[in-house]
Amino acid sequence: MQSNLARRAPKQRPEIPLSIYLQTKLDNPSREVRGYAITRGICQLVGLDHCKIPDGLLDQRLIEVIAANESRPDVSTVCDSTILKQAALGLGDRISESRFVAERIAVWKRKDFAQYERFLRAVLLGEQRRIGPSVTIGRRKTGTFPPVDPGLPYMVGILTEELAELRLIFGKLQTVTRNAASDPELAEQFATAASSGRSPHIADKVDKWTAFFLSNKARRNALRGLVENNLKRAPRRIVIAYVAHYWGLKPSSLRQLLKGR
């Protein structure tokens, strides 16, 4: 099995990000097809001979190769580095549609949480580039703010109400078992509460919310405060920080955009 995925010098390694190189395939409505394309793109970038392996087997072969080479971290290191780089260059959270990538994420959560945090930061950067690159670039080049979407104040208001509702839900729960919970466990509790039906807009993007909360220490503290009913920041401030991240703005800049609205 391993010989089928031997490292080699690729004849032509794509120099452009996978988010562009695979653009047509990433538009496919099938998550499975998109995942296969991402896995093949990663193989090509790291120089793994994958051409003769069917789509349905490639992810599993990669997982097996990494597991069989635990004593040679260079194999997993080059794959992990490529995953983070491509996530940041524009794939964002779409990169997790690859079953191989999803497996690496699970490994990081269990064995290398610092790497998982780096991945979350890469995903946030990639999402900014994918969803709002013109906003970020325009802000840096001109120093001006983008036009305010007429629906933005309404969206912030709705999300604030829903986050406050989640705060009330957690306040009614027993806190005895939650105080010792790990950050990923808190994120899972947040996701479970969000799916209760009382916060539909947060539930619709709950993966982005959990990625946001886990991306740095201050946000993890905010998540812990929310879940443990000891929140020191107003829900609106958290919402503004969340929206600002995906707009490529500082929270203070977004507050200025919303001033008086």
The pLDDT assigned to 70 comes to 67
A 10 A CB-CB count for 118 gives 18
**Surface-to-core class of residue 253, CB atoms within 10 Å of its CB (0-12 exposed, 13-18 middle, 19+ buried):** middle
Instruction: Identify the pLDDT of residue 209.
Output: 93
Determine the pLDDT at residue 39: 94
Q: Is 141 exposed, middle or buried (0-12, 13-18, 19+ CB in 10 A)?
A: exposed
pLDDT < 70 stretches in the chain: 1-15, 50-51, 70-73, 131-151, 173-179, 260-261
pLDDT score for 36: 94
pTM over 0.85: no
pLDDT at residue number 71: 60
Q: Work out the widest C-alpha separation in the chain, in whole angstroms.
A: 64
Bridge partners of residue 7, in order along the sequence: 48
Domain boundaries along the sequence of the chain: 2-131, 152-258
The predicted pLDDT at position 219 comes to 92
Check residue 103 and give its pLDDT: 94
SS3 content of the chain, % helix, strand, coil (to 5): 70, 0, 30
Whole-number pLDDT of residue 173? 67
What's the pLDDT score for residue 15? 58
Q: Per the structure block, which two tokens stand in for 191?
A: 């996701």
Distance in angstroms (rounded) separating the CA atoms of residues 31 and 28:
8
